Structure 1
């Protein structure tokens, strides 16, 4: 059954290619060569042609060329390598948004703690390790919640959710402060150990760099920042 399906696909491609103008056929030949040089699999090349050829055959009747439809061979090759682009309106999974937010919040407060300790080494109420961890965890969850109630400016007035956002954000910030400050004051320093300033600065800068890297690599969408 699979072999028959493959044969049908080959016939379809061959039939469509026979209908191309010389200019468009030359484009397809160059694209195939470019994809092979980029080590794209044969199956992927076949599926790419199956998508492109019907569009090309239909639009060349209107006088459009492959270059006009798909860009240069180099651009189309890059498009195939990158794969389909994400819909900008589609949010990333919750865990990605939480990690992104946690790294931002935790990294930011770690930098503040490091700078504060650097300027005032004798400070006795510096953020301890457990409080620092809580900032990462609770901060990530807080921003995840806020991302779900962000006002929608595309909705009619009165339905954009500003009041809901204000109420939820106030409750989230209050819970955040209670949890983080609670660990700071209730857990003894023997457990909630305070690091030297340089450690906080290293953790903070590392967290923010990791946030930037993950956001770019995973293309995280839907967070607060």
Structure 2
């Protein structure tokens, strides 16, 4: 099949790996053989020259987003960075008016709790999106419970961990670190295509 050979030749000039090229050609051959029984040629079937066909594949690949990353480790990291970055930013800005930022131990523990909280809330928000009966109420109750646990943990860490370990940074430093963490979270979220809550 000359059409297939031409497509193969053009595919070798693209960034596709050999396994991907073989898969594309295999799918194309199956379509051609299926339509040949009805007298339809490859050119008529695809209505494109071999060059145009390969170009159309490349355009589709560029437009198609990657598969969302839904592994719990990545979801935890996404939630932890979001909460930690936001808390550092809020703590840093507030300290310009109130005098002192939250200690680093409190902030880190808050981030860890936030990571687990986001995994839990994702489950209930997914139920809510599917319209499952009672899902909205369950989501609200779980959100309230998560915030309550979060506040208890924060208070507990502040009371238990001594100031020598729970060091409070300068407001400017805390704010800058918060911005950097949020930027890192945005970058990882984009690179890994982590879905939003």
Query: Is TM (by shorter chain) over 0.5?
Result: yes
2:26 maps to 1:50: yes
How many residues align? The count is: 189
Tell me the residue number matched to 2:118: 143
Tell me the residue number matched to 1:99: 77
What do you get for the CA RMSD once the two structures are aligned? 3.1
In the alignment, structure 1 segments of 5+ residues that lack a partner are 1-16, 19-24
- Aligned residue for 1:216, secondary structure, equals helix
How far does residue 85 in structure 1 lie from its aligned partner after superposition? 4.6
After superposition, residues 1-225 of structure 1 pair within 5 angstroms as 17=1, 25=3, 29=6, 31-58=7-34, 61=40, 63-65=44-46, 67=48, 72-77=53-58, 79=60, 85-86=66-67, 92-117=70-95, 119-120=96-97, 123-124=99-100, 126-150=101-125, 151-155=127-131, 159-221=133-195, 223-224=196-197
Q: Is the contact between residue 56 and residue 65 of structure 1 (CA under 8 Å) also seen in structure 2? A: no
In the alignment, structure 2 segments of 5+ residues that lack a partner are none
Question: Relative to total residues, which structure has the larger helix share, 1 or 2?
Answer: 2
Question: Cα deviation per residue 1:152-172 (whole Å; 9 max; x = unaligned)?
Answer: 34336xx15122112211111
**Moved beyond 4 Å, runs of 4+:** 78-85
Question: Cα deviation per residue 1:45-95 (whole Å; 9 max; x = unaligned)?
Answer: 222200222224545839542549xx7522313556899953x7xx71111
What is the alpha-carbon distance in structure 2 between the residues aligned to residue 188 and residue 85 of structure 1? 46
- TM-score, normalization: structure 1? 0.71
